[in-house]
Amino acid sequence: MAEEPKSVNEEDLRQVKERMKLIVEADPAQYHNDYSLKRYLRAFKTVDSAFQAILKTNKWRVDYGVNELHDNKELIEKYKDKARVLRHRDIAGRPIVYIPAKNHSSSDRNIDELTKFIVYCLEDASKRCFEEVVDNLCIVFDLNNFTLSCMDYQVLKNLIWLLSRHYPERLGICLIINAPAFFSGCWAVIKGWLDENTARKVTFVNSEMELCQYLIPDILPTDI
């Protein structure tokens, strides 16, 4: 079962909704539903901070062309082996973003293009959420056949930034599977970039039996 999200102060929610009402009346595209507003309140703590973060995200979405990314067939085709939103869900009902680390290399990618592809995947996965039940995602990093040449720190930094700024509280759990022993050195660096709340969501899975607690192993792709 998915963990229950932290409750949000109803007065805080009312205030954010009241502020957003004025914005949305002028521009309906700025709309966020209650689930989204609650995620921002949980992540940014105060009404003022949450409201400002929402406005920044709305501006970023327009400037970045988020809604047009699904039409960028060339981008999707070029980076399709870097990540995939799976058809199946995890045990808690979360959409799954599967990332085969072996297909990554900082010397063989355009960071701006790959970041756009990551946004495309986050958008696709987020749209698959049954928000009334669970409104967050499962991200699986598969480190099978991983080597140090696959370690792309900048892409991870970008993903962390996106999740914290523009997809707050969308990460429900991050599973790291098939990790080689030497990855502990990489993890020591990565963990330093995470806040305490996000770090708690990262789980190293050491066996197929353990993986079964989170998802059915057979749903993970073998063709990328």
pLDDT in tens, 55-114: 999 999 999 999 999 999 999 999 999 999 999 999 999 999 999 999 999 888 999 999
Nearest partner of 217 among 140, 147, 146, 150, judged by Cα: 140
Domain ranges of the chain: 10-64, 68-219
pLDDT for the residue 108: 87
pLDDT at 2: 45
Is residue 122 pLDDT above 80, yes or no? yes
Q: What is the pLDDT of residue 1?
A: 44
Whether the predicted model's global pTM rises above the 0.85 cut:
yes
CATH 3.40.50.2300, domain 68-219, yes or no: no
Query: What digits encode the pLDDT tens for the residues 16-27?
Result: 999 999 999 999
| Sign, Cα dihedral of 156, 157, 163, 164 | positive
pLDDT single digits (tens) 177-186: 999 999 999 9
Amino acid letter, 127: K
pLDDT of residue 7: 87
